[in-house]
Amino acid sequence: MKTLLWKLCSSYFLLAALSLALCLAAASLLLKQSVISQAQDELAAQARLLRVRLERQEAAAYGGICAEFSAALGSRFTVISASGQVLADSEKDPLSFDNHADRPEILAALAGAVGVSRRRSHSLGKELLYVAVPLRRNGEIWGAARAALPAELLDERLAYLRGTLLLATVPALLLAAAASFFLALRVSRPLQEIEQGVLRFTQGSLRHRIRITGPLEITNLAESCNRMAAQLDERSGSLQKQLALLESTFRSMAEAVIVLDPEGRIRRCNQAAGRLFGFDTAAAEQRDIQEMIRLADVQQFFEKTMQQGGGATEGIITISTGREKTLSANGARLRSESGANAGALLVFHDITRLKRLETMRRDFAANVSHELKTPITAISGFVETLRDGALHEPDAERFLEIIARNVQRLRTIIEDLLALARLEQEEESGQISLSWKAVRPVLENAAAICANAAAEKSITLELDCPDSLRAKLNAPLLEQAVVNLLDNAVKYSSSQKSRVILRAAQEQGGMLIVVQDFGCGIAREHHARLFERFYRVDKARSCKLGGTGLGLAIVKHIVQAHHGAVSVESAPGRGSVFTVRLPG
């Protein structure tokens, strides 16, 4: 028995020691990350303090300020201009430094971010942790303020914390040894195990197994108990799996499901019901449906279901909880095994999106018919006029020009429709290829395409895009989207000698492209439908300017193909700002 006891004890102890060693290794890695992160945050805070101090001083005082900060905070401080020239340093003469424009932390700071780098200093001959922040004057970055700390100080701090952590494991090892001995002692008593095992079987712990060694009678008794428990556990597990499957299906259904008793109290409901009607499902059971769902249509549908003699009850319910929703409701009466009334089952499915798509489909069909009917009617009318004898009249040439203009309008509409269909097909089949490219050339090409139209209205196109900005894009498609936005901005600029701004910049998680005009603007009620096909804010003016009503729809699909999003901010008389956001 001693051998078994000590073997079990050593096994448990080794397992505990291994787990503790893994935890110690993971904690050591976390400590290292924490120390480095804390040091970076401290240096960034020091660099920002230096930046605040520098903003109120002349360049001649930079050296003294850096020295003062170094003496007070113990870090090394440096001021670098946008060209990379060292203007001041707390430890060496700034004239002794070479150009710092290629330093990683300086590059990041001059780009407007917080730069972090750990590398060997050429001037001091030792490894340092650098953190740099941008210096701005009148909104422009003119340099960078940098704080640095020797890496050996971080290593010393980390070594101290690791030593402390290692000392803390000694009590844990002692506790693991005591626990291992205690567990091994319990396992070494076979008769007590049989008694305790049978007791646990009677308490419902059917997965417990008695494992003993000893006389044949005792081991046979233990195996018989184990087989009995296994059979009961198998049957119980099968029932539990079926119940769990039903429960999981019930809770994960997208449709809102509510089970009511004959008095209208909620017996069961799933999470979808709580989300749809805005109540806590955990607190809803045994509560009256009128108390949890304060909608007369739902109450009336329940009463209609209860009055139904047999079969299913169907209906459409419209609710307004924050925003209007349309629900498809299905109900059925429940009966017990004896045939008595057991309540009702109500199922609600949100068909708001389907209704909206159906409305958009009808509007699209009506708009297409209208857009095609107008030029066809004009062409047909003038052709009849020419055939009736006006072919040799002085106005014949003007009639032909009108016919040609409407034919061109039909061609433009068809080309835009084909472009939209092609975009949707390529997007669904994944045929649109995206690759990392510079953004500025794409914007320059788009601006060049719209330059003549802008010049005719004396409108200035302003482009603001860093040369270094890159994104994962399809250049021809993105160029087409920007051209459509610029073309709209030029068309709807309300005054001559106005300007249109095209700007691109990096943002967290990606980049954005902004097209801003100072024209007539768009009322808020039109924003939600602005990117629908053939939707126009001012139909008469849009047709006069030659638009097809498909330009913004094409923009939306191009942006979606780039896995991005497009939005608009506008108000009447204040111009419009269209923003395209693309992921990084």
Q: What is the mean pLDDT of residues 28-33?
A: 75
The predicted pLDDT at position 367 comes to: 58
Burial of 349 (0-12, 13-18, 19+ CB in 10 A): middle
Question: Is a pLDDT exceeding 60 seen at residue 3?
Answer: no
- Determine the pLDDT at residue 545: 46
334, 336, 339, 344 alpha-carbon torsion, rounded to 10°: -20
- Taking each continuous run of H as one helix and of E as one strand, the counts in the chain are 15, 17
The mean pLDDT of 7-18, rounded to a whole number, is 72
Q: Which of 394-398, 453-457, 572-576 has the lowest mean pLDDT?
A: 394-398
What's residue 131's pLDDT? 87
pLDDT at 191 over 60: no
- Predicted local distance difference test score (pLDDT) of residue 546: 47
Render pLDDT for 440-450 as a digit per residue (tens, 0 to 9). Answer: 998 998 888 88
In this predicted model, what pLDDT tens digit does every residue of 524-574 receive, in sequence order?
Answer: 887 777 877 666 665 544 444 445 567 787 788 788 888 889 898 988 888
Pairing of strands 460-464, 499-507: parallel
Arithmetic mean of pLDDT, 344-362: 74
Distance (Å, rounded) from C-alpha 475 to C-alpha 436? Answer: 10
Query: In this structure, are residues 78 and 90 in contact, taking their beta carbons and an 8 Å threshold?
Result: yes
DSSP E strand stretches across 381-537? 435-438, 460-464, 470-473, 499-507, 510-517
What is the DSSP-derived secondary structure letter of residue 459?
Answer: P
Residue 413 is which amino acid?
A: I
Strands 256-260 and 341-350, bridge-based pairing:
antiparallel
- Per-residue model confidence (pLDDT) at position 541: 44
Using alpha carbons, list the distances in angstroms from residue 324 to 257, 348, 350, 353.
20, 15, 11, 11
Q: According to the model, what pLDDT value does residue 502 have?
A: 92
Residue 509 is classified by DSSP as: T
The pLDDT, as a whole number, for residue 527 is: 79
404 compared with 304, residue with greater pLDDT: 304
- Rounded-to-integer distance, Cα 444 and Cα 504, Å: 11
The whole-number pLDDT of residue 524 equals: 82
How would residue 515 be classed by pLDDT, with cut points 50, 70 and 90? very high
pLDDT tens, residue by residue, 363-390: 555 555 555 556 666 667 656 666 666 6
User: Nearest Cα to 553, choosing from 421, 428, 425?
Assistant: 421
Question: What is the distance between the terminal CA atoms of the chain, rounded to a whole angstrom?
Answer: 66
Using pLDDT thresholds of 50, 70 and 90, give the confidence band for residue 169. Answer: confident
Mean predicted confidence (pLDDT) in 167-194: 68
d(CA 569, CA 578): 7
Which is higher by pLDDT, 113 or 160? 113
For the segment(s) 351-431, the CATH number from 3.40.50.970, 1.10.287.130, 2.40.440.10, 1.10.10.10 is: 1.10.287.130
Beta strands 76-81; 140-150: pairing state: antiparallel
Residue 39 has pLDDT above 60, yes or no: yes
Question: CA dihedral defined by 486, 489, 490, 494, rounded to 10 degrees?
Answer: -170
Task: Give the architecture (CATH level 2) of 1-188.
Answer: 2-Layer Sandwich (3.30)
Rounded distance between C-alpha atoms, residue 403 and residue 416, angstroms:
20
The C-alpha atoms of residue 12 and residue 4 are separated, in whole angstroms, by 12
pLDDT tens digits for 40-71?
A: 888 888 888 888 888 777 877 888 888 888 88
1-188 and 253-350: identical CATH topology: yes
Fold of 253-350: Beta-Lactamase (3.30.450)
**Hey, which residues does 335 pair with through a beta bridge?**
341
Domain regions of the chain by residue span: 1-188, 191-249, 253-350, 351-431, 434-584
Superfamily of structural domain 434-584: Histidine kinase-like ATPase, C-terminal domain (3.30.565.10)
